[in-house]
């Protein structure tokens, strides 16, 4: 009795369909994970950039005026730093006019 070489069994058909689907799902999962990691990294970098720009404005104020600014609103008005208060909370604590203030940017 000859075996038909063109006839596939149910397991072969299932394997030929299931393997590409699982492979595609794995690739899509890796892409989604990578995009999530990229977004988190971008948000952290934006917070770091905001903190650096506030620090530069504070140091520039000290160099020009001889004292550190008393508040964040002064920095925003006179040095052009924009703080998106819907995204970030900025901790700005000044101890004395001749000591560098404590600056911390926290993402909401």
- pLDDT (tens, 9 = 90+) of the chain, 108 residues, equals 456 555 667 777 777 888 889 999 999 999 999 998 999 899 889 999 999 999 999 999 999 999 999 999 999 999 989 999 999 999 999 988 889 999 999 988
Residue 2 lies inside a defined structural domain of this protein: no
Kindly calculate the radius of gyration of the chain based on its CA atoms and give it in whole angstroms. Answer: 29
Residue 14 lies inside a defined structural domain of this protein: yes
Residue 74 lies inside a defined structural domain of this protein: yes
- Given this model, what pLDDT does residue 8 score? 67
Dist CA 86 CA 59 (whole Å) = 25
Residue 3 lies inside a defined structural domain of this protein: no
- Given this model, what pLDDT does residue 14 score? 75
Residue 5 lies inside a defined structural domain of this protein: no
- Given this model, what pLDDT does residue 89 score? 93
> The domain containing residue 70 runs over which residues?
10-107
- Given this model, what pLDDT does residue 31 score? 94
Q: Minimal CA–CA distance to 51: which of 92, 80, 79?
A: 92
Task: Please give the tally of structural domains in the chain.
Answer: 1
- Given this model, what pLDDT does residue 6 score? 59
Name the phi and psi angles at 12, rounded to 5: -65, -40
């Amino acid at each position: 009795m000859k075996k038909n070489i063109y006839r596939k069994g149910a397991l072969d058909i299932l394997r030929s369909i299931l393997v590409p689907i699982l492979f595609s799902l794995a690739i899509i999962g890796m892409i989604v994970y990578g995009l999530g990691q990229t977004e988190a990294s971008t948000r952290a970098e934006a917070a770091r950039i905001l903190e650096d720009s506030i620090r530069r404005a504070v140091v520039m104020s000290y160099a020009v005026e001889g004292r550190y600014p008393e508040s964040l609103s002064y920095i925003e008005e006179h040095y052009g730093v924009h703080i998106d208060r819907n995204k970030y909370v900025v901790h700005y604590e000044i101890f004395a006019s001749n000591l560098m203030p404590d600056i911390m940017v926290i993402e909401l």
